[in-house]
Amino acid sequence: MSPSGAEVIRKIRSEVEEVDPSEVKAALNGNGNSGVVLLDVRESEEWDAGHIPGAKHVARGYLESRVEGAIGSDRSQRVVIYCASGQRSALAANTLKNLLGYENVASMNGGITLWKDRGYEVEKPVVLTPQQRDRYSRHLLVPEIGLEGQTKLLNAKVLLLGAGGLGSPTALYLAAAGVGTLGVVDDDEVDLSNLQRQVIHTTDRIGTPKVDSAEIAINGINPDVNVVKYKTRLDASNIMEIIEGYDVIVDGVDNFPTRYLLNDATVRLDIPVVSASILGFDGQLSVFAPHDGPCYRCLYPVPPPAELAPSCGANGVLGVLPGTMGLLQATEVVKLIIGAGEPLIGRLLLYEALGATFTELKVRRDPECPICSIDPSEIDESQLGVFPDYEAFCAAAG
């Protein structure tokens, strides 16, 4: 007589290694990369309702055909599978082990139900409203973005330093793209002379604080965006407080002291900076991702003297140029958030508008860089937020 379904499941469960959620949690918490791959084999609706952070998902019905794509083909890696209660995961573990040859497979006992009962963290993916599906439909159609990428954008926090020439187009397009939180730092008010290039502001908002004007424009395009306003100048006393918690920072500031200050603080907090600068018809662009690539000090160890560092206010700038460079920045921000493509890390892009030329230069990490050659974990807590007097430093260098 053939065994019943319940008997088969009992037999398989007795043969499969089962682990308690507490062991799984400990393994995942061990360090950033514990070497354990967590695999959720429930149906898509169950996954969407909440899953364990960091888990990969393949519904059990697609296990044989899709598991390698999700967890890779290394047969010796440790794989822990879970479902709702521990039954489907045991069957999936059996398949992975006996049919697909994964040698080190276990099933999590009690599934995500027991995991939740223990009070462990569950990640609930963003579910788009019908309106959002419509608004972001052109993103959802792009394979590199899709629902996963759009979710990342909606969860992302981006800080814009300056709502001026570079910050204007960047803010508008990041808002349109659905970046969930946009912080804007600017202590200035809208002036008539800004409007030749600062397209986030309008004639009827002359005299309005730029952060307020930017908020009106951002929410006019996309009310989903949470705008956090900082009507202040970034300095050593407030930088750590302002930038902490942001995923990416967009640097469009107009002076060297702030650029160096920002660099040091972001290296310490491990926040990538998409940096651009402009003058006349020329622009520069790079991404400084702490420890993955060079930092601003690796590229420019010393600021130039004042006569070689004119500002746009003193020397002028083509009104379109901050648009070009700001949108290249916005593109790099989106790439960093969704994890697509090759970000401009370790490369400096020069754009010369009159000649319509792009030049790419390599930027190397300086092994003796005073900031990014130090392991941030070796920096004492009390050193965080403590900076030398940058104004004096830059003035002295000049």
Question: Mask of contacts with other proteins, 115-134, x by CB under 8 A?
Answer: --------------------
How far apart are the C-alpha atoms of 217 and 159, rounded to whole Å? 16
**Residue from 239, 271, 278, 338 that binds other proteins (CB under 8 A)?**
278
How far apart are the C-alpha atoms of 43 and 38, rounded to whole Å? 16
Shortest distance in whole angstroms from residue 389 CB to other proteins: 18
Using CB under 8 A as the binding rule, whether residue 164 contacts other proteins is answered as yes
How far apart are the C-alpha atoms of 240 and 234, rounded to whole Å? 10
Using CB under 8 A as the binding rule, whether residue 302 contacts other proteins is answered as yes
The DSSP annotation for 229-291 comes to EE-S---TTTHHHHHTT-SEEEE--S-HHHHHHHHHHHHHHT--EEEEEEEBTEEEEEEE-BT
**Residue from 34, 132, 238, 255 that binds other proteins (CB under 8 A)?**
255
**Residue from 51, 56, 197, 335 that binds other proteins (CB under 8 A)?**
197
The DSSP symbol for 4 reads P
Which of the stretches 65-73, 97-105, 124-132, 279-287 binds other proteins when contact is defined by CB under 8 A?
Answer: 279-287
Contacts for 31 with CB less than 8 Å, ≥ 6 apart: none
Q: How many CB atoms lie within 10 A of CB 44?
A: 10
Question: Mask of contacts with other proteins, 323-362, x by CB under 8 A?
Answer: ---x---------------------x-x-x-xx---xxxx
Using CB under 8 A as the binding rule, whether residue 209 contacts other proteins is answered as no
Q: Binders of other proteins: how many residues, by CB under 8 A?
A: 53
How far apart are the C-alpha atoms of 167 and 184, rounded to whole Å? 9
Using CB under 8 A as the binding rule, whether residue 370 contacts other proteins is answered as no
Which of the stretches 130-138, 148-156, 164-172, 231-239 binds other proteins when contact is defined by CB under 8 A?
Answer: 164-172
The pair of structure tokens assigned to 91 is 């069957």
Residue 55 · residue 40 · CB < 8 Å: yes
**Residue from 188, 189, 212, 235 that binds other proteins (CB under 8 A)?**
188
Identify the residue whose tokens are 């009992």.
10
Q: What does the CA dihedral 219, 319, 345, 365 come to, rounded to 10 degrees?
A: -130
The DSSP symbol for 301 reads S
Nearest by Cα to 256 from 297, 209, 203, 317 = 297
Window 4-23: residues binding other proteins (CB under 8 A)? none
Using CB under 8 A as the binding rule, whether residue 277 contacts other proteins is answered as yes
Using CB under 8 A as the binding rule, whether residue 149 contacts other proteins is answered as no
Shortest distance in whole angstroms from residue 43 CB to other proteins: 50
Mark whether 312 is an active-site residue: yes
Using CB under 8 A as the binding rule, whether residue 279 contacts other proteins is answered as yes
Judged by beta carbon, residue 54 or residue 358, the one nearer other proteins is 358
Using CB under 8 A as the binding rule, whether residue 252 contacts other proteins is answered as yes
Question: From the candidates 83, 295, 298, 312, which is the catalytic residue?
Answer: 312
Identify the residue whose tokens are 């050659």.
373
* Identity of residue 8: V
Judged by beta carbon, residue 154 or residue 243, the one nearer other proteins is 243
CB half-sphere exposure, 124, CA atoms < 13 A: 4
Using CB under 8 A as the binding rule, whether residue 383 contacts other proteins is answered as no
How far apart are the C-alpha atoms of 129 and 224, rounded to whole Å? 11
Q: Which residues are catalytic?
A: 312
Chain residues in the site for other proteins (CB under 8 A): 162, 164-167, 188, 197-198, 251-256, 259, 276-282, 284, 299-305, 308-313, 315, 317, 321-322, 326, 348, 350, 352, 354-355, 359-364, 397
